[in-house]
Amino acid sequence: MTSAQNRKIRESVEAYFYLLPAMTILTIFWFLPIIVSLAMSFGNITALKPLEEMRFVGLQQYRDALANPAFRQTLWNTINYVIYSVPPTLILALSAAMLLNSQIKGRGFFRTVYFLPYVTTWVAIAIVFKYLFHREYGLGNWLLGVLTVDILGSDHALRLDWLSEPRGIWEMAIIQPLFGDRVSPMWFGFENLLRGPSLSLFCIVITSVWRDIGYFMVIFLAGLQNIDRSLYEAASIDGANGWQKFRTITFPLLSPVTFFLLVISMIGAFKVFVPQFMMTPTGGPDNTTTPIVMYLYEQGFTGEWKLSFAASVAYILTLIILFLTLVQNQLFGKRVEYGQ
Amino acid sequence: MMLTLSTAAAGTGGGNLLLQAATAIFLLINIGALVVMILSATSIVQAPALKRSLHVQGRAAKHFLIYEVMIIGAIVMLMPFYWMLVTAFKDGQTSSASPPVWTPSRMKTLAPSPETGTMVPVVTLGTRTDTESLVRVVPEEAFTFQRVEEGGVSLTREVPDLERVFMADPSTFEIRSSIDVDLKNFRRAWYRPEASSRGQVSFLNYFMVSIVTSSLSTAGALLTSALAAFAFARLIFVGKTVLFYVILATMMVPGQVLLIPNFLILSKLGWLDTYLALVVPWLASVFTIFLMRQFFMTIPEDLWDAARIDGASRFRFLWQIVVPLSKPVFITAGIFDFLNNWNSLLWPLIVTSTPSMRTLMVGLQNLNDDAGTEFHILMAASCFAILPVVIVFFFLQRFFIEGIARTGLK
């Protein structure tokens, strides 16, 4: 054996020593569980059943989950949460970042203030917002009262049920005031879509947007500061206005950052658990807030402890996330290159 | 946004002319600023002198509007924190009062005098019941007189036969909800006397569990990740690419997939409901390995050559050169790991069951279920769950923000 080969082997052995502690933990608690979980999702394991009754049931758990109205509802709730929380967060964060990037004083102060919600814990924030949205004691209804008292009179001040309101936001804001209940046969099969998320879920969306703006703003701000200022100067000389500069310089050059944030925020939103669990522990009115992960927890770790079923739910979530990553890569992958 | 604000102002004011005038001025200024900004951005105005002055004023108007929007945004971001803090000092009655009490009354030491209408110090004469204080709004001269007469120095002064004085002339008194300047809510939330009868524990215990488990798992994760990241960044070994792709793929799988098998593994090991269950699975972090590898790869190869010439082993190179150079990434990764552990709710909820093994977040969640609408207690508890993190944030702010910007931009 040559000495070069010898050295290579020695280096490999040394590397394995460095890897050993991390890999031991990762293998036991990360790599293996991913496979075990997949295997379990094809069985019928529950924590209460004796081992002898366990058998391979193929895709039965997946079929059960997808056919289950409760699971479909949680899937729909989660999709609503993603659709209504991700775009507003990104748009508001980008706007805030652009305002902060315009050479104003006190930038550090605003950045700290906007970022503060993100470092505080979700559990505590959820409790605070539960108070703000409380029907009797919350500031939400107080503000509504103040805004509407001149129009409606003090006896008819508008009050909302916020976290216990099952009606959809579009249903409340547009459909019912315009059409009353007559419209119900005219949903054209898009009933859920037209109604929008329940007000209850929307309160949770507001809370998430409030919390996450600072995080995305900080990343956008870093992205904006990477853009060469001379590009804007050149555009100004050519007579471009603010919107043209945004459309032709800022947006394309920022697209890698935007793309990255879109992916991670959607993935994060699909895995949401704490705000719903804290603000609506019973799943909200008519079960309109329960997200997938909360359903997984309820099915797998309470009641009948249906472990296999919960594993199949977890894998459905995984598939959604992988699918999203792929679709976004396909759709935006090429446009992102353009910036570089 | 401006319209809403003005309506809000008009609503609270009712017939208050001053407030309406202020709202009108506010609106006018905003409209003016908008018009100036639009005029300066377009080419409607052609006269050169006017155009030049518009250019300057347009900038000023733009900055004014930016500040305005940013300040309104800052108020929206800070309001829930203010409300949490101020409610934590209220009693049950004040925390559910409508209209809301914006400042606890004992903090507010000035009030309009009934006689002259000017702002004068408020004297709290004593506590009437547990939830009410008797407060007398006194004109300044009377206040000075009292100070000389009684020789007191503080604004608050107990009157022994309060009830008799009150009965003699109730009209000069105002009954206010008393405010817990002595942190009664915090004490109640912390010790929870009503919960301990059911075998639940105080927040001190929750805090200890959270601090111990978060610190241990963060320290462990930093150590194991630094070693692994060093191997990935600096060494050539068989199966490196495959292993690295496995790690990258693991990052894509949501952690929820791991819950069920890990729960079973821990129960087989007999670790459920112990510190081990809260610490051991988190002793390695895929994300931290990735983050550190990226950083280690930027350290120039020359440093290693120099160290080797000086006779240093690889381990010593890692320990004495790479680690000190990578302090920022260690702090960033440490913050992320610590916050992840500190904030996690689902994992401790699943793997622990006895109250003495619960973490702070689970404790808070239990309190949320128990306390119902006792929001003053809940806000006090939220305060001490948020406070440590916020303090750490203010000290390590640079690392938070730079770390996030770096991981975000890759």
Sheet containing B132-137: which strands, arranged edge to edge? Answer: B110-112, B119-127, B132-137, B173-177
CB contact under 8 A, A129 and B80: yes
pLDDT value of residue B101: 77
For residue B254, the chain A residues in CB contact (below 8 A) are 267, 270-271, 314, 317-318, 321
pLDDT value of residue A245: 86
pLDDT exceeds cutoff 50 at B220:
yes
pLDDT in tens, B27-66: 998 898 888 888 877 777 777 777 778 878 888 888 888 9
pLDDT value of residue B4: 41
pLDDT exceeds cutoff 90 at B158:
no
pLDDT value of residue B165: 59
A40: contact with B, CB 8 A cutoff: yes
For residue A8, the chain B residues in CB contact (below 8 A) are 236
Low-confidence ranges of chain A (pLDDT < 50): 335-340
Side chain identity at residue B194, one-letter code: E
Three state DSSP letters for B134-162: EEEECCHHHHHHHHHHHCCCCCCCCCCCH
Nearest CA in chain A to B258: A33
Q: How confident is the model at residue B359 (pLDDT cuts 50, 70, 90)?
A: very high
Which residues is B127 bridged to in the sheet? B133
Interface of A with B in 90-109 (CB under 8 A): 96, 99-100, 102, 104
A16: contact with B, CB 8 A cutoff: yes
pLDDT value of residue A206: 96
Give the separation between CA A212 and CA A206, rounded to whole angstroms. 10
- Taking alpha carbons only, the member of A33, A41, A38 closest to residue A64 is A41
pLDDT value of residue B138: 45
Contact indicator for A244, A232 with CB cutoff of 8 Å? no
pLDDT exceeds cutoff 70 at B161:
no
pLDDT in tens, B182-192: 577 888 888 87
- The more confidently predicted of residues B11 and A322 is A322
| DSSP character string of B215-277 | HHHHHHHHHHHHHHHHHHHH---TTHHHHHHHHHHHHHS-THHHHHHHHHHHHHHT-TTSHHH
pLDDT value of residue A107: 87
Nearest CA in chain B to A20: B228
User: What's the DSSP call for residue B319?
Assistant: I
CA atoms within 13 A on the CB side of A63: 7
Residue with tokens 């120095």: B153
The H or E element containing residue B175 is: strand B173-177
For residue B345, the chain A residues in CB contact (below 8 A) are 122-123, 273-274, 277
Cβ-based neighbours of A173, under 8 Å, separated by 6 or more? none
Q: How confident is the model at residue B227 (pLDDT cuts 50, 70, 90)?
A: very high
pLDDT exceeds cutoff 70 at B146:
no
CB contact under 8 A, A131 and B409: no
Structure tokens at B43: 């080419």
pLDDT in tens, B277-305: 999 999 999 989 988 998 899 888 888 88
pLDDT value of residue B2: 39
Contact indicator for B107, B179 with CB cutoff of 8 Å? yes
Min mean pLDDT across A117-131, B123-137, B369-383 is at: B123-137
Contact indicator for A134, B404 with CB cutoff of 8 Å? no
A173: contact with B, CB 8 A cutoff: no
User: Average per-residue pLDDT in chain B?
Assistant: 77
CA distances from B41 to A163, A250, B51, B157, B382 (A): 44, 18, 10, 62, 47
CB contact under 8 A, A257 and B409: yes
The alpha carbon torsion through A196, A201, A203, A204 (nearest 10 deg) reads -130
Is the dihedral angle over the CA atoms A247, A253, A254, A256 positive or is it negative? positive
pLDDT value of residue B229: 94
A32: contact with B, CB 8 A cutoff: yes
Apex B346 CA angle, B204 and B371, nearest 5: 50
A116: contact with B, CB 8 A cutoff: yes
pLDDT value of residue B374: 86
CB contact under 8 A, B228 and A321: no
pLDDT in tens, B83-122: 999 888 877 777 777 778 777 654 444 555 555 555 554 5
Q: Does the N-terminal peptide bond of residue B80 adopt cis geometry, omega within 30 degrees of 0?
A: no
pLDDT exceeds cutoff 50 at B3:
no
Cβ-based neighbours of A113, under 8 Å, separated by 6 or more? B74, B77, B78
Q: Which of B100, B246, B263 sits opposite A142 (nearest CB)?
A: B100
Cβ-based neighbours of B320, under 8 Å, separated by 6 or more? B312
